[in-house]
Amino acid sequence: MQVQSLHFKRRASQALADARLQANLRRFGSGFAEKRAAARAAYGVEAFERLRAASAAIRDRALENLDAWLLHFEAEATRRGSVVLWAGDVAEARARVLEICARHGLKKAIKSKSMLSEEAGLNEALAAAGVQPVETDLGEYILQLAGEPPSHIIAPAIHKDQAQVAELFERHHRRPASGDIERMTREAREVLRPHFLSADLGISGGNFLVAETGSVAIVTNEGNGRMTTTLPRVHVAITGIEKVVPTLEDLSTLNRVLPRSATGQEIENYFSILTGPRREGDPEGPEHMYVVLVDNGRTRFVGSELREMLRCIRCGACMNHCPVFQAVGGHAYGWVYPGPMGSVLTPVLNGLESAPDLPQAATLCGACEVACPVMIPLPSLLRTLREQQMERGLRPWAERAALAAWAFAATRPRLYGLLTALAARALRLLGGPRGRIRRLPFDPGWTQGRDFPAPEGRTFRELHGAGRRSRA
């Protein structure tokens, strides 16, 4: 997938001006957030917070000795018949998968949802090598027909309405358009079923890797993941190196917090633990199982100020609660990972200079941190990236000059008091009789969509001082 994060401002402006997209985003609204709140209440608020703390501790324990747990996973997976392959970047990951296709003469791949395969541009690589990729998650399938990337990591097609999906189905399936959701879903099943039966390669992601047993755990709600990993003769799981957890007990804990945080479900519809290829006497499963473990910049987080980002279990809770994501949608972020988590991952994985506006694409309201099931301090990480941008001179010179001037004044209390008093009075005059500023000087963006309330003409320090004197 081509990185477009450099153009966040332009893409966000286009999203805000797209009336149809805005209607679709409003329809999505805070639905997942409300379901999470209900699931949290049903579980018990205090118990859920203990679950979050335990989940964060499990992820930290795995990441503190990431190399050891990965080697343990490799040993156990190999002992059970899987082949573990390593990839330093996405180019190597693509090469690994294409080597497997060539070795086994594979021609059609059915795919369960995998953000790492999006990160690697795997579909394009497979098609170029003569292997037909077919997305089988309904949302991902819709987007494959549309030629678009996902806009949300859990609900990838939330930016499309029913009529848009019906038009896509009519054009690609060559059947009369249906306005009935149940009929459209049945139609997708009928089209995908022959692919399930004829594919010789199944590709999945991996929600978790269990070091204790060498297993890959995947979570789905449609059952396509189970068919993708059992029907074809070859199964390839491609996932990031940070997904490893030590034990099955750890997996059990994380699987209680994941669905409640992602979609508000107590448990997913399908939860699969895949341990090696089919053995003698097994009724189902692939003849060969490969696990491709991809770094692609993840080790940059290890031991850094941003290391807590590796806890992420890709639930989408941060974007479900983010006012910026809900306003502009996922495509504005310009790469695989949108929302607050993407605003940290994308600059680190692709380079801070390639995504200069993503660390700024947040209000720092803290809703993402409160919702995160593994307690990632996302606002703090975003501030760290902002600091790195300033240190490296990656922000516009006017912004850097303004902040330098503010810092100069803020470290001199008398000067700061004088300047803020003058500014408060000037803004009061700009507000006029209405007390509203129609165009804010120096930063007109604040008043492009609404008037700015004018202060009453005195600073907080002045008001606070006057209150203390009146009480005395």
Predicted pLDDT at 169: 96
Q: Which of 284, 299, 314 is the last residue of a domain?
A: 299
Predicted pLDDT at 445: 81
Are both 150 and 282 inside the same structural domain?
A: yes
On whether residue 374 sits in a domain, the answer given is: no
Are both 161 and 286 inside the same structural domain?
A: yes
Task: Check which CATH number belongs to the domain holding 104 and give it.
Answer: 3.40.50.10420
On whether residue 207 sits in a domain, the answer given is: yes
What whole-number distance in Å separates Cα of residue 321 and Cα of residue 8? Answer: 20
What whole-number distance in Å separates Cα of residue 62 and Cα of residue 341? Answer: 20
On whether residue 324 sits in a domain, the answer given is: no
On whether residue 46 sits in a domain, the answer given is: no
On whether residue 323 sits in a domain, the answer given is: no
Predicted pLDDT at 268: 87
What whole-number distance in Å separates Cα of residue 113 and Cα of residue 156? Answer: 10
The SS3 assignment for 437 reads strand
pLDDT higher than 70, residue 225: yes
Are both 281 and 402 inside the same structural domain?
A: no
Q: Which of 299, 323, 354 is the last residue of a domain?
A: 299
Mean pLDDT, residues 47-70 taken together: 98
On whether residue 367 sits in a domain, the answer given is: no
Are both 416 and 294 inside the same structural domain?
A: no
pLDDT tens readout for residues 338-369:
999 999 999 999 999 999 999 999 999 999 99
pLDDT higher than 90, residue 154: yes
pLDDT tens readout for residues 444-458:
888 888 898 998 889
Are both 281 and 427 inside the same structural domain?
A: no
On whether residue 260 sits in a domain, the answer given is: yes
CB neighbours of 458 closer than 8 A, spacing ≥ 6? Answer: 421, 424, 425, 466
Question: DSSP labels for 35-103?
Answer: HHHHHHHHH-HHHHHHHHHHHHHHHHHHHHTHHHHHHHHHHHHHHTT-EEEEESSHHHHHHHHHHHHHH
SS3 percent helix, strand, coil of the chain, rounded to 5, is: 55, 10, 30
Range of the domain at 130: 66-299
pLDDT higher than 70, residue 468: no
Mean pLDDT, residues 409-426 taken together: 94
Predicted pLDDT at 2: 81
Judge residue 83's burial from the number of C-beta atoms within 10 Å of its C-beta, 0-12 exposed, 13-18 middle, 19 or more buried.
Answer: middle
Predicted pLDDT at 142: 97
Mode of pairing for the β-strands spanning 208-210 and 215-220:
antiparallel
User: Count of domains in the chain?
Assistant: 2
CA-CA-CA-CA torsion sign (98, 101, 106, 110):
negative
pLDDT tens readout for residues 245-283:
999 999 999 999 999 999 999 998 899 999 999 999 899
Q: Which of 299, 332, 366 is the last residue of a domain?
A: 299
pLDDT tens readout for residues 391-412:
999 999 988 999 999 999 999 9
Predicted pLDDT at 472: 54
Are both 121 and 240 inside the same structural domain?
A: yes
pLDDT higher than 80, residue 153: yes
Predicted pLDDT at 469: 61
Are both 291 and 408 inside the same structural domain?
A: no
- Chain-centroid distance of CA 435 in Å reads 41
pTM: 0.92
In terms of Cα–Cα distance, which of 464, 440, 462 is closest to 453?
A: 440
On whether residue 53 sits in a domain, the answer given is: no
Are both 410 and 275 inside the same structural domain?
A: no
